[in-house]
Structure 1
Amino acid sequence: MAQTAADQAREAVVEAALGGLDLDGKTRMLAGQDMWSMPALPEIGLGSMVLSDGPIGVRGVRLTADDPSVALPSPTALAASWDQDLARRVGRLLAQEARRKGVHLLLAPTLNLQRTPLGGRHFEAYSEDPYLTGVIGTGYVQGVQSGGVGAVVKHFVANDAETDRFTVNGVLSDRTLREVYLAPFEAVVASARPWGLMTAYNAVNGTTMSEHRELVEGVLRGEWGFDGVNVSDWAAARSTAGALAGGLDVTMPGPETVYGAALAAAVRSGEVEEAAVDRAVRRVLRLAARVGVLAGAVPAVPAGDLPPDVDGRALAREAARRGFVLLRNALLPGPCVPGALAPGEGSEPGAARRALPLDPARLRRVALIGAAARDPRAQGGGSATVFPDHVVSPLDGFTAALPDGAVSWSLGVDLAEELSTADQGFELRAVCRNARGTVLGGCPLPTGKLQWIGDSLPDGVTSEALHSIEITGTFTPRESGDHLLGTRGVGAFRLRVGDRVVYEGVQRSDGSPDDHSMFGVPLGDARVSLTMVYESAEESSAPSDPFESLFGAPVERASVPLTAGEPVEISLLNTLDKGYVPPLPGVTFSLLHRPPRRPADELIAEATEAAAAADAAVVVVATTERVESEGFDRVDLALPGRQDDLVRAVAAANPHTVVVVNAGSPVELPWREEVAAVLLSWFPGQEGGAALADVLLGAAEPGGRLPTTWGALRDAPVTEVTPVDGDLRYREGVFVGYRAWQRAGRAPVYPFGHGLGYTDWTYESIAVTDTTATVRLRNTGQRPGREVVQVYVGPVDRGEGEAERPARVLAGFAGVEAAPGRSVEVAVELHPRAFETWDEPSGGWAAMKGAYTVQAGRSVADLRVTTVLEL
């Protein structure tokens, strides 16, 4: 990549700074100074660089309520917009958030692929298609870095499942790597020039990615010209000499890593060359110059060139509705329920009309049903979690949009099969004390999860002085009955209810308890005191997953009878075990809660009764954190609990039943033909409920198209997530996602690219000149709309001796808008790689000559116009 004059000026400052460092200074630069920052070296004018998790918000270094973050829709929802400009604007907002929080590097976006629907963390990835992933990722990175903040793309590479994620070895061919899994990274490096990249925990073909010289030095830097910093995933680096030789620049977290003093010693012993250290230091200094923390260097984006501020709430709402995918919108025969449908085509008496949108002016009563209608999953679980200052639920959104009394809510099905983090009704604060009981500091807590990784402690608190943590506040139950309390974490606990100890013992890292539990403790009065003590245990073992205390199984500890609306005092004391050394430094444990449960049949009957009395029923179904989250893969695609039974019962009571699917990745929808409409909301972020009301009530059109194929698990061609003898073999090769479905000759429930709007489109023509497809189409519906024109190409014939290729691949797309009756023409550039394959014998790309079918349409399975291109 050619350097600009500004780049050259920064390089001169970098070289001068490098010349002012001795060996110890250099090696110290390459190791994190703590969990979220890199060290400052004032002697050369280097400030500390702060890193933060993304991708839907900027967490900062503290996961606390006193520093809230804008929470945007999940990456899969963003990719469902099929809109690079929207991704770019999202990136600009995140850069704005990062600057506000003092963050220089955002650990995002995730460019791994949704290889199988069982991937537990797929909500954090964009798509099953490498081209779509690269386009959206490019926009995101461009947006972030236009705001002067570095994007650290991750996880390089083949980090596509969670099972044994720290040790798994991905076994895949060079062709599969190049055409599928490396492709999004290559596209983003070429088009967005990211300033950072994170190498994954896993190995590829026998070599751990933190030491993979062939892929990092050979491909990433050598072929693609990447000039940014390579950061390890947290605690992924295993070898001093191996990591440096493999091209790893920075090991995180610090300061105790395989770099720092260990690297200086390796140089002095002759195990590694100082020149290799210099190359890594040079890249870190270049990054510091770009983000503005190296004295004398003009930042890549000077303060005067920063983009205008973005309205975070407005963009979060827009991004949510632009990602909503309308999977089904059936015709309802007239005469319809009065006021339930929007006017327009077919609105005359007795005519058939679409189930959506609803008409808020004439809608008398809506039955809103489902646990997630009141308490939605706004975001996925794991390291991507942030705390917004508010979340708009579907109940909030509909209540605000419709007249008083027009909306009723029913639980329908209780999803609280397990305890979850204490949240709704809890108002909590953490108070930190030293061994003498003196208060050191504290902060508000948004939930019962205490997650202070590294030195991200409240002001005035140090890890050396910290002896105990008390979570104190109140809990106002929303339901009367027996409330379960529990814990998540590893170590010795003591739980108090009132004046009685109801649990005391050790929770080991292997999940086995050594406890003395007492359940069903009666309350003598309305005051409840809970005390949890994290004490030294004679027997202790480190968890195999460093995040076990965050993502491990919840454990029930006590049952407490409470009355709805009556607040009780809560006190949770954690006395630290100074002898326990966790894999990741910090304090992490959780107070868990589960409200009283009522019989499922009773809840479904109540919801059915409400639906029968309403003009329309909206059922919100959802996954839970025990189904989709970081740290584990899924075992099936079923909705948890009896949500399928609920949908069927409501649909039988009201033919105008709309189902909203609040999930981050595919779930099975066995009742889809029994309901009037199905809308996929993904994990929609903090403004999801408001956006949902916008779309269902017709103020906005659902803008999304599926970035991944939806089908029954029994039909899915690729499902392997569990390694065998440490190896996860990508036997499907380049046939992943819709390519695999086509190869297997199976029809999914909803194909890649599928999504409906509130108008109709007729595709009129397609023509190809060179590698540009020009598509003409017309809005033949009754209202303005946006269409995503998708262009797919595939070889007409397979040449003799030619490797098998997909029947068709996505080669380009574009969004168009038109008023009713108007036509529009759009030019779509076809991606050159659609006509190439990786030739393993020669180790290079080969252009595949011959005839190609070029088709445009609404999804990979709904292609409306066709032409042939000869190459």
Structure 2
Amino acid sequence: MPSRPHRRGRRWSALAAAIPVAASSFALTAPVVAAPQTSSVQASVEALPWMNTSLSPEERTGRLLDAMTLAQKFQQLTGTPPEIVPELPECYGGRHVRGIAELQIPTLRITNGPVGVGQNDCVDAALLALPPAQRPLGVPYIHESSAKATALPSATTAAASFDPDVAGSYGDVIGTEMNNLALHVFEAPGVNMARLPILGRNFEYFGEDPFLSGTMAVAETKAVQEQGLIAMPKHYAANEQETNRQVTNSVVDERTLHETYLLPFEMAVKDGDAASIMCAYNYVNGVPSCQNEYLLEDVLREQWGFEGYVQSDFFATKSTVPTLLNGMDHMMPVPQQWAPALLQAALDAGQISEADIDLALERRYVQMFKYGIFDRPLVQTPIDYDAGGEQAYEIGTRGSVLLQNNGALPIRSDVQDVVVVGKATQVYAQQAVAGGALVGRPFGSGGGSSDVVPVYSVDPVEGLQNTLEELGNTTARVRLVLVDDANQTATIDGQAVSFDNALAEAAGADSVVIMAGTISEEGADRATFTDVTGTQLVDIGDDLDWYADNLSSIATVGGRNPAKNSNTVAMIKAFMGAGPAMADKTALVLKDNAGVAMDPALVGQHGPSILEAWFPGQEDGNIVADLLFGVVNPSGKSPVTYPIEGKGFLDHIGAEHFPGKLVGTEQIPLGFGGSGGTITGRPTVEYTEGVNIGYRWYEANLSGDCPTADDGSNPCVAFPFGHGLSYTDFELFRAMVAPPVSKGTKPVKVQAFVENTGDVTGSEVVQVYVRVPEAAGTETKKLVGFQKVELQPGEKKRVQIQIDPEASHHPLSTWDAAADQWTTPEGGLEVYVGTSSQDAELVRTVKVRQIGRG
């Protein structure tokens, strides 16, 4: 494969350098001016003893609390209604706690995530001079005028790298730009699980495996906090659907809760030293997440030793007293149930004490002192957009997955005629793709809290042209073919043609690149309901055809936001049959929220080559083009399972699994402030599949239709978890467990050799799975270790992975609900080694004689 230094869209360099940090279409040249501030270094230690940096964070916090009035404490417990940020008069924000100047308490500024610095407490203050009707999308949630930042690939991309260094790079970009924008708290990483492939926020999370999710969360959390910032893993806990998320009750048995849905949080707390946690909208086993004593006190603080603070998701709280007494510390975005009058009434009634308020503030102030937030002024500095873009490109290329290759990839560098195909109603072939991306709309207009507004983006055709030019091919032409939903008409570079003419153009082209996917956004899942209550399910959008115009609200039949059929799969099949040997020259690029159900006609030797690019973000065009032409060798592994259409988990569930059955006779208001009407009964979702989500569901054959074959393959799976190809070949050999282990408290040492038997440099991921001795029900193997290794052609390396029973992810243990602890079951521990969940072969059965804590 050719190699050359990567150069991004050059026309953006000058623009990036010219745009200030708080820029918008209303004030592109406005300078960034910080309000005058008194440096903490100059503060009188005698008058403000908590500003003495020689004291510990705990000592400083104690002295500050002693000096505060009750009114000041009330104000500091919650977010401040939208206003001009006092220290940054160019910013209008609704994501901060206003500081107290006389006490040298700085304004605490919070940004959303996880895919970059989005909704970052700074939209253009000049918009306030406009009449309300002229303020786009409403203040303060005006995405298009937000302070600009790097729009990274989806968090799923980082997980697909199977490389903690990539997650660290992800956090590094975010931390750097947060400091540029004078922000303090990052509401991420998101570590909820891809239990449902249609979950609207899967792209914000790390896939279907808790250990992989936790590993990436630890790396990202550390990278953010190393820059003097607070990371906030979210949404705690069992918050695996957007449909009726504010009122849904997740019913999860204790073992499943600990082994699957709490495990990434536990890793982030114990290994990542997360300074904060965000509690979620939903109820868990009948108790609201933000007042759930078992989750917030028993588990988070007593079992895990968490010393940080708990913040609510925005408008997630349900009460005044239980939230304060049961472990929540900070209410966002406005006072709501912690309004001063309500707190005072609770104090007067003896329901709470001032000590309870002090404890909540103490937990947050200690972290603010620990990370230097009290000791640096709020001053914005220019973002290096080129540097952010380069890192976004690296993340995207290292996390894309080559699912299938039937000879079409890599595309020859001397190609002369490339046809790019997509749907006219879909963004995939037309624009750079992020969550909530809509045709003809800029980044950040989807409506989700993770939306990021970059200074540039690279569309697919531009990216292909960039790569061809940099490969020295100046004569090739790249044509864009857009097809209507009915597959009857099309355009080629804007000129109307028939669908048959479009097929003929593809048949005569040197290379055909079809782009499709599953766009999603916060606020809704990819599903259709009878009405806006989201209780009566009509259709599940787990394929490439389903779409809706408004991705952040429930899609309904005959309502304002009806789901539609793009007929994308039929279009792909038509192009695959447009001429002889189409499989030899056709590549399907997926830009996905999670593992899509695959039509059998697309899988196998007669289907297209398939590259999964997830949501590539602002560098979309460059990332995809360099992978297609082999400038970069794909090395990602899928963090989700791709089922065969009609044979997946979603095809075997009932209303009790999604969207939830209505239980009881309580009148439940829906939407923020009851804006979505009411329903009778609480939507209740039962996680009856237990620990067997994702690849474990298929291996357990819970449907009865998915028996695993002797070679590890599964008839219900198109592409398994952990799968990913390369433009070179690898051989994995001499896998062993050495030395043998006899006690559950000693590490299991696994090693294997990997050789690059091809002719280009590439990377392979060695994966270790274990099946613990049966303790309760049918046990399936689970991922407990992995290592990515780069190899030159002909190079061979030894990979060593140590599985420590005492590690925070409890690799050899199960949760014993009766004993309320992790235990290592006695018996034979099976160790598997491979390069995906399906090809992992049994290497050794380790006899575990000692039952001990994990």
Q: Which amino acid aligns with 1:650?
A: F
- Which residue is equivalent to 1:828? 801
- Which residue is equivalent to 1:632? 525
Q: What are the residue-to-residue correspondences of 1:114-133 with 2, within 5 Å?
A: 114-133=194-213
Q: Specify whether residues 710 and 763 from structure 1 end up closer, same or farther in structure 2 by C-alpha distance, changes over 3 A only.
A: same
User: Which consecutive segments of 4 or more residues in structure 1 shift more than 4 A?
Assistant: 5-8, 307-310
**In structure 2, which of residues 233, 236, 247 is the aligned counterpart of residue 153 of structure 1?**
233
| Counterpart-to-counterpart distance in 1, 2:203 and 2:246 | 20
- Does residue 379 (structure 1) correspond to residue 435 (structure 2)? The answer is yes
| Counterpart-to-counterpart distance in 2, 1:294 and 1:40 | 10
**In structure 1, which of residues 178, 200, 222 is the aligned counterpart of residue 258 of structure 2?**
178
- The answer to whether the Cα contact below 8 Å between 1:158 and 1:204 also exists between their aligned partners in 2 is yes
- Does residue 651 (structure 1) correspond to residue 608 (structure 2)? The answer is no
Q: Deviation string for 1:763-796 (max 9, x for gaps)?
A: 111222342211112111111110011111114x
- Which residue is equivalent to 1:756? 725
- Does residue 279 (structure 1) correspond to residue 359 (structure 2)? The answer is yes
- Which residue is equivalent to 1:391? 457
Q: Deviation string for 1:12-45 (max 9, x for gaps)?
A: 1111101101222212210111230013123322
Q: Specify whether residues 240 and 754 from structure 1 end up closer, same or farther in structure 2 by C-alpha distance, changes over 3 A only.
A: same
**In structure 1, which of residues 314, 321, 324 is the aligned counterpart of residue 397 of structure 2?**
321
Q: Which amino acid aligns with 1:278?
A: D
Tell me how far 1:194 sits from its aligned partner.
1.1
Tell me how far 1:603 sits from its aligned partner.
5.0
Q: What are the residue-to-residue correspondences of 1:787-798 with 2, within 5 Å?
A: 787-795=764-772, 798=774
| Counterpart-to-counterpart distance in 2, 1:636 and 1:28 | 44
- The answer to whether the Cα contact below 8 Å between 1:838 and 1:845 also exists between their aligned partners in 2 is yes
Q: Which amino acid aligns with 2:642?
A: W
**In structure 1, which of residues 673, 680, 692 is the aligned counterpart of residue 624 of structure 2?**
692
**In structure 2, which of residues 515, 535, 551 is the aligned counterpart of residue 620 of structure 1?**
515
Q: Which structure is higher in RCO with an 8 Å CA cutoff and minimum separation 6? A: 1
Tell me how far 1:260 sits from its aligned partner.
3.4
Q: Specify whether residues 286 and 309 from structure 1 end up closer, same or farther in structure 2 by C-alpha distance, changes over 3 A only.
A: farther
Q: Give the TM-score normalised by structure 1.
A: 0.72
Tell me how far 1:694 sits from its aligned partner.
1.0
Q: What are the residue-to-residue correspondences of 1:537-576 with 2, within 5 Å?
A: none
SS in 2 for 1:88: helix
- The answer to whether the Cα contact below 8 Å between 2:641 and 2:694 also exists between their aligned partners in 1 is yes
| Counterpart-to-counterpart distance in 2, 1:167 and 1:681 | 34
- Which residue is equivalent to 1:64? 144
Tell me how far 1:633 sits from its aligned partner.
4.1
- Does residue 289 (structure 1) correspond to residue 369 (structure 2)? The answer is yes
Single out whichever of 686-695 and 116-125 deviates more from structure 2.
Answer: 116-125
In structure 1, runs of 5+ residues without a counterpart are 331-353, 418-477, 481-563, 566-596
Q: Which amino acid aligns with 2:511?
A: A
- Which residue is equivalent to 2:819? 842
SS in 2 for 1:178: helix
| Counterpart-to-counterpart distance in 2, 1:43 and 1:264 | 23
Q: Which amino acid aligns with 2:518?
A: T
Q: Specify whether residues 837 and 28 from structure 1 end up closer, same or farther in structure 2 by C-alpha distance, changes over 3 A only.
A: same
- The answer to whether the Cα contact below 8 Å between 1:368 and 1:407 also exists between their aligned partners in 2 is no
| Counterpart-to-counterpart distance in 2, 1:308 and 1:147 | 16
- The answer to whether the Cα contact below 8 Å between 1:159 and 1:200 also exists between their aligned partners in 2 is yes
Q: Which amino acid aligns with 1:323?
A: G
SS in 1 for 2:801: strand
| Counterpart-to-counterpart distance in 2, 1:393 and 1:98 | 26
- Does residue 53 (structure 1) correspond to residue 119 (structure 2)? The answer is no
Q: Deviation string for 1:563-611 (max 9, x for gaps)?
A: x99xxxxxxxxxxxxxxxxxxxxxxxxxxxxxxx97xxx6532331221
Single out whichever of 387-396 and 166-175 deviates more from structure 2.
Answer: 387-396
- Which residue is equivalent to 2:274? 194
| Counterpart-to-counterpart distance in 2, 1:676 and 1:238 | 50
- Does residue 30 (structure 1) correspond to residue 100 (structure 2)? The answer is no
Q: Specify whether residues 397 and 415 from structure 1 end up closer, same or farther in structure 2 by C-alpha distance, changes over 3 A only.
A: farther
Single out whichever of 844-853 and 59-68 deviates more from structure 2.
Answer: 59-68
- The answer to whether the Cα contact below 8 Å between 1:369 and 1:607 also exists between their aligned partners in 2 is no
- Which residue is equivalent to 1:359? 412
- The answer to whether the Cα contact below 8 Å between 1:30 and 1:250 also exists between their aligned partners in 2 is yes
Tell me how far 1:259 sits from its aligned partner.
4.2
Tell me how far 1:829 sits from its aligned partner.
2.1
Q: Specify whether residues 160 and 83 from structure 1 end up closer, same or farther in structure 2 by C-alpha distance, changes over 3 A only.
A: same
Tell me how far 1:264 sits from its aligned partner.
2.9
- Which residue is equivalent to 1:426? none
- The answer to whether the Cα contact below 8 Å between 2:159 and 2:216 also exists between their aligned partners in 1 is yes
Q: What are the residue-to-residue correspondences of 1:474-485 with 2, within 5 Å?
A: none
- Which residue is equivalent to 1:669? 598
Q: Specify whether residues 734 and 865 from structure 1 end up closer, same or farther in structure 2 by C-alpha distance, changes over 3 A only.
A: closer
- Which residue is equivalent to 1:338? none
Q: Deviation string for 1:414-440 (max 9, x for gaps)?
A: 3699xxxxxxxxxxxxxxxxxxxxxxx
- The answer to whether the Cα contact below 8 Å between 2:768 and 2:831 also exists between their aligned partners in 1 is yes
Aligned-pair Cα RMSD in Å:
2.8
Tell me how far 1:228 sits from its aligned partner.
1.3
| Counterpart-to-counterpart distance in 2, 1:862 and 1:603 | 45
SS in 1 for 2:359: helix
| Counterpart-to-counterpart distance in 1, 2:53 and 2:638 | 41
- The answer to whether the Cα contact below 8 Å between 1:179 and 1:734 also exists between their aligned partners in 2 is yes
Tell me how far 1:261 sits from its aligned partner.
3.6
Q: Deviation string for 1:529-579 (max 9, x for gaps)?
A: xxxxxxxxxxxxxxxxxxxxxxxxxxxxxxxxxxx99xxxxxxxxxxxxxx
Q: Deviation string for 1:635-659 (max 9, x for gaps)?
A: 2312121211221122222331111
Q: Which amino acid aligns with 2:449?
A: S
- Which residue is equivalent to 2:15? none
| Counterpart-to-counterpart distance in 1, 2:836 and 2:400 | 16
Tell me how far 1:850 sits from its aligned partner.
1.9
- Which residue is equivalent to 1:869? 846
- Does residue 854 (structure 1) correspond to residue 819 (structure 2)? The answer is no
Q: Which amino acid aligns with 1:365?
A: D
Tell me how far 1:123 sits from its aligned partner.
1.4
- Does residue 808 (structure 1) correspond to residue 781 (structure 2)? The answer is yes
- The answer to whether the Cα contact below 8 Å between 1:121 and 1:162 also exists between their aligned partners in 2 is yes
| Counterpart-to-counterpart distance in 2, 1:721 and 1:315 | 37
Single out whichever of 57-66 and 12-21 deviates more from structure 2.
Answer: 57-66
Q: Deviation string for 1:618-641 (max 9, x for gaps)?
A: 11113345xx55323432312121
Tell me how far 1:314 sits from its aligned partner.
0.8
Single out whichever of 149-158 and 6-15 deviates more from structure 2.
Answer: 6-15
Q: What are the residue-to-residue correspondences of 1:113-512 with 2, within 5 Å?
A: 113-294=193-374, 311-330=387-406, 354-360=407-413, 362-371=414-423, 372-380=428-436, 381=446, 382-402=448-468, 403-414=473-484
Q: Give the TM-score normalised by structure 2.
A: 0.73
**In structure 1, which of residues 77, 86, 91 is the aligned counterpart of residue 166 of structure 2?**
86
Q: Which amino acid aligns with 2:576?
A: A
Q: Which amino acid aligns with 1:233?
A: D
Q: Specify whether residues 364 and 138 from structure 1 end up closer, same or farther in structure 2 by C-alpha distance, changes over 3 A only.
A: same
| Counterpart-to-counterpart distance in 1, 2:206 and 2:222 | 16
- Between structure 1 and structure 2, the one with the greater Rg is 1
Q: Specify whether residues 643 and 479 from structure 1 end up closer, same or farther in structure 2 by C-alpha distance, changes over 3 A only.
A: closer
Q: Which amino acid aligns with 2:685?
A: L
Tell me how far 1:828 sits from its aligned partner.
1.0
Q: Specify whether residues 310 and 228 from structure 1 end up closer, same or farther in structure 2 by C-alpha distance, changes over 3 A only.
A: farther
Q: Deviation string for 1:226-268 (max 9, x for gaps)?
A: 1112111111112110110121111111144424342133113
Aligned length: 654
| Counterpart-to-counterpart distance in 1, 2:482 and 2:109 | 45
- The answer to whether the Cα contact below 8 Å between 1:196 and 1:229 also exists between their aligned partners in 2 is yes
- Which residue is equivalent to 1:436? none
- The answer to whether the Cα contact below 8 Å between 1:392 and 1:686 also exists between their aligned partners in 2 is yes
- Does residue 106 (structure 1) correspond to residue 186 (structure 2)? The answer is yes
